Amino acid sequence: MVALALAAKICLSLLALTPVQAFVGMGINMYNPSCAYACRSVIAGASIECPSSAATSTCQARSGPFLTTLAYCIKTRCYPDPNPSREQIEAYWSIEATGDEDAPPMWGWQEAVDRVNGTPSAKYDPKSKMRETVLLDQKDWLAAKQKMEASEYQQVLYARYALTIFLVGIGTPILLTALTYLPYSRVISDWVRPRLIYPTLFRRHVQPVLYLFHLPTLGQSTYILLITILTITLLLVDYGNLFPFRTSTEADILNYLGMRTGIIAMALLPLTILFAGRNNLLLYLSNWSHSTYLLLHRWIARLCLFVIILHSLIEFVRYTLQGRYAAEVAKTYVQWGIVGLFACFLAVLTAHFRRWGYELFLISHIVLVVIFIVGTWYHLELKFQRERGYQQWIYLCSAIWFFDRLVRLGRVLRTGRRKAVVSKIGDEVVRVDIEGVRWSATPGQHAYLFLPAVRKWAPWENHPFSVIPTHLLQKRCAEKGEMDEKNSPQTSASASTADLEIARQLHTPVLSSIHTTPSGVTVFIKRNKGITAALHSHASPVFTALMDGPYRNTSSRPVLTSDRLILFTGGIGITGVLPFVHAHPNVKLFWSVRAGQEALVEELEPTLPAHVERGVRVGGRNSIEAALEAEVAAGWKNVGVVVCGPGKMCDEVRNRVAELGRRAAVKWELDVEAFLW
Ligand SMILES: Cc1cc2nc3c(=O)[nH]c(=O)nc-3n(C[C@H](O)[C@H](O)[C@H](O)COP(=O)(O)OP(=O)(O)OC[C@H]3O[C@@H](n4cnc5c(N)ncnc54)[C@H](O)[C@@H]3O)c2cc1C
């Protein structure tokens, strides 16, 4: 925490030096010089000669008494102390004297000062017409100045706090990853992983709660908690400078609190969008997985929605207290805010039901988020006209989103239009061979497959599937019955069960064809309810395919550099772990398959290299506990575990590895490649 706070502080100090006009306090000044702004604030509503057809600012620009009063106030109040530079005063004068850039004053500041003869004797009276240079009351001027300074100070804080949240949000994964490169970090990380990173909360993670949401792991919860605590803390601290004035009312305080909630929500927005991206830069700058970022996307979105609701409630109470609720709600900027609020609320709410109709969810989610962003833009634009830099957050969100979409397009174009040959593997699975794709055989890769001809009315539809380089599938076990059944804990432990153990009969000892090139990838697709079902019932075996990929969930390096690699998988999950068996010399594979999916086993089991120990079980389950205990008993020092299968299996493996990691002397590396996000 201390390190994080320090990192945030350093980033902030660096940002403070940036000469760009980004945020208030970082290139944008609101009321500087405040002595001059306070002068104008006191007489802004002064009664001057002004025809009803002219704008107030135009009249002020031409009103001698108004300009000389303002110039004299600036001269006497700004000098000698706090003494803004002459250039500053002139700059202020030319733009702000009338409050309208398009209505510059008819005299320069010095000229207006020179037109004042001695010390004015008349005092400013807002009720009577200003006909000569008048003196402003010191109390009024001071109150206006203090209020402006307090307001600017608050704005500077908003900008800093929003940036802090954003920087801590993106900096934490980068920093924690960087720490793993320090000397002795390995010892610490071996200790931390089974205690903080791997454990689940309430033993569930991949399995959704009530089909609605996923619980974070302990490590993920720590991050969510960090951002939540930081957000709440930064919403609540540092209002001290507002209280000294007698003039600060409850509504004033609510105004500041409302603004702060609004701006802090803006900082959470780019984080939320960044975490959802397939091409999230943090995937390259940190060792956190894509599935972790997707989970964080949802939790940070919930936090963002909470802060936005808070913002709306505070504004509602403020307007009601001030008796101007009806008037405010009639304003366009408030209406855009309400549109944004509802769009955000619906986007977060409907995401919980995505499993009931993923495509509908996806399209509505994008539309709702666009409405939310556009609503927020107009909410800010109509209220602040880009004067305070809030629009930077919208630019950032758009940049992150478009960057992701552009890189996706680039990936699809790079792979190009491909021919996909589809063949049925039993009743539930199809094999899709996509020719001419030249991707490395790195394990743990998936890609988004477009098959526009399958559902012509939704050609944009694309879904993630694990990719296997086709040449890996053409290998055949040379020796029949080579698997090491004796060492397989499941076979000895449950040999008496009625499970159908078919692996042994399935080996094809001869290569049917030798694949001489590494080009071409294959995906195995299990029938679900959407496009995968349509694919099964489609008559044509040849399709045009586009591919967005390859992507990886996380680096496979840690598991692949372990002494021993254990792979757990269930059903179609084999496609997620298959490339691992070719990438490690000491592998044991546990694959459980439901009765009825024998064809998949027949298709894939013979492709396993001879050195792979295996426990393939059709109609039964491998005992995860026994399998892991056996590795501990075998005395391996460093064991990598990869699991890809149903949520229950993924969670059990995770929980067991975490328990053993805390108890046994073995060092574990865990990689969960779930098919469920
Ligand atoms: C990283 C990853 C790798 C995968 N690899 C394979 C594989 O090799 N073989 C295989 O058969 N399946 C794989 N899946 C699952 C596969 O993506 C879904 O089965 C497929 O998207 C279902 O399509 P459908 O239109 O039939 O979905 P539906 O029947 O509409 O939905 C079925 C389920 O799939 C989920 N789903 C649907 N579309 C998507 C999407 N675009 N992104 C994420 N989830 C979605 C839904 O939430 C729902 O739970 C993988 C999933 C992920 C996340």
Q: List pLDDT tens digits, range 316-358.
A: 999 999 899 999 999 999 999 999 999 999 999 999 999 999 9
Cα dist. 520→5, 82, 437, 438, 513 in Å? 48, 73, 5, 6, 15
Q: What is the mean pLDDT of residues 664-677?
A: 91
- pLDDT band at residue 642 using 50, 70 and 90 as cut-offs: very high
Of 559, 469, 667, the closest CA to residue 287 belongs to: 559
pLDDT computed for residue 494 by the predictor: 40
361 lines ligand 1 (CB under 6 A): no
pLDDT value at position 386? 86
* Pocket probe mutation, ligand 1, options 465, 473, 580, max atoms within 8 Å of Cβ: 465
Residue % of the chain over a pLDDT of 90: 74
> At 570, phi and psi to the nearest 5?
-135, 135
Q: What is the pLDDT of residue 490?
A: 39
Residue 15, pLDDT above cutoff 90: no
Q: Is 526 touching ligand 1 by the criterion CB < 6 Å?
A: yes
Cβ of residue 466 lying under 6 Å from some atom of ligand 1? yes
Name the band, by pLDDT with cuts 50, 70 and 90, for residue 513.
very low
By alpha-carbon position, which residue is closest to atom 10 of ligand 1? 525
**For the ranges 154-158, 215-219, 418-422, 511-515, which has the lowest average pLDDT?**
511-515
pLDDT at 465 > cutoff 70: yes
Condensed to tens digits (0 to 9), the pLDDT of residues 519-554 reads 899 999 999 999 999 999 887 899 999 999 999 999
CA–centroid distance, residue 463 to ligand 1 (Å): 6
Reported as a pLDDT band with limits 50, 70 and 90, residue 515 is low
| CB neighbour list of residue 400: distance below 8 Å, 6 or more residues apart | 270, 273, 274, 277
How remote is the CA of residue 368 from the centroid of ligand 1, in Å? Answer: 22
270-291 tens-digit pLDDT = 999 999 999 999 999 999 999 9
Please tell me the distance between residue 239's alpha carbon and the centre of ligand 1 in angstroms.
49
Q: Indicate which residue's Cα is closest to atom 4 of ligand 1.
A: 465
Average pLDDT in the 206-230 region? 96
Q: Which of 211, 358, 364, 467 to mutate to test the pocket of ligand 1 (most atoms within 8 A of CB)?
A: 358
Per-residue pLDDT band for 477 (boundaries 50, 70, 90) equals very low
pLDDT at 489 over 80: no
Q: In which band, very low, low, confident or very high, does the pLDDT at 260 lie, cut at 50, 70 and 90? A: very high
Is the minimum distance from the CB of 447 to ligand 1 under 6 angstroms? no
Torsion angles phi and psi, residue 113, rounded to 5: -65, -45
Instruction: Name the token pair of 383.
Output: 């209220």
Ligand 1, pocket-test mutation among 450, 457, 527, 528, most atoms within 8 A of CB: 528
Dist CA 596 CA 574 (whole Å) = 16
As given in the structure block, the two tokens for residue 257 are 């609190």
CB 439 within 8 A of CB 521: yes
Please count the helices (runs of H) and the strands (runs of E) in the chain: 24, 14
Please report the DSSP string for 329-375 in residue order: HTSHHHHHHHHHHHHHHHHHHHHTTGGG-HHHHHHHHHHHHHHHHHH
Q: Is 290 in the pocket of ligand 1 (CB under 6 A)?
A: no
CA of 443 to the centre of ligand 1 (A): 19
Residue 298 CA, ligand 1 centroid: distance in Å: 18
Instruction: Give the dihedral of Cα atoms 222, 225, 227, 230; nearest 10 deg.
Output: -120
Cβ(356) – ligand 1 distance below 6 Å: no
Residue 575 CB–ligand 1 contact under 6 Å: yes
Amino acid of residue 27: G
pLDDT bucket at 476, cuts 50 / 70 / 90: low
Q: Of all protein residues, whose CA lies closest to atom 15 belonging to ligand 1?
A: 675
Average pLDDT over residues 451-467: 95
Ligand 1 near 448 CB (within 6 A): no
Report the SS3 class of residue 425: strand
Q: pLDDT tens digit string along 153-173?
A: 999 999 999 999 999 999 999
- Selected residue with higher pLDDT from 6 and 442: 442
- Tell me what the pLDDT averaged over the chain comes to: 89
Position 540 scores a pLDDT of: 82
- Which band of pLDDT confidence, cut at 50, 70 and 90, is reported for residue 677? confident
pLDDT digits (tens, 9 = 90+) for 585-608: 999 999 999 988 899 999 999 999
Question: In whole angstroms, what is the distance from residue 273 CA to residue 403 CA?
Answer: 11
Banded model confidence at residue 475, pLDDT cuts 50, 70, 90: low
Distance from residue 530's CA to the centre of ligand 1 (Å): 9
How large is the average pLDDT for residues 373-402?
Answer: 95
Closest ligand 1 atom to 534 CA: 26
For ligand 1, the distance from its centroid to the CA atom of residue 675, given in whole angstroms, is 7
Which residue among 425, 569, 675 has the greatest number of ligand 1 atoms within 8 angstroms of its CB, and so is best to mutate?
Answer: 675
Inform me whether the pLDDT recorded for 516 exceeds 80. Answer: no
Angle formed at CA 61 by CA 58 and CA 67, multiple of 5 degrees: 145
Residue 269, H or E segment: helix 250-276
- Highest-pLDDT range among 86-95, 97-106, 127-136: 127-136
Q: How far apart are the CA of 469 and the centre of ligand 1, in A?
A: 20
Q: Is 354 in the pocket of ligand 1 (CB under 6 A)?
A: yes
CA of 360 to the centre of ligand 1 (A): 14
Give the per-residue pLDDT at 88. 87
530 lines ligand 1 (CB under 6 A): yes
Distance 597 CA to ligand 1 centre (A): 18
- The finding on whether 646 has its CB within 6 A of some atom of ligand 1 is no
- 230 and 163 Cβ atoms separated by less than 8 Å: no
Distance 677 CA to ligand 1 centre (A): 9
Three-state secondary-structure class, residue 124: coil
The ligand 1 atom at the shortest distance from the C-alpha of residue 525 is 11
pLDDT above 60: residue 512: no
Q: How confident is residue 21, by pLDDT bands cut at 50, 70 and 90?
A: low
520 contact partners, CB below 8 Å, separation of at least 6: 433, 434, 435, 436, 437, 469, 470, 471
- Angle formed by the axes of helices 64-78 and 34-43, to 10°? 140
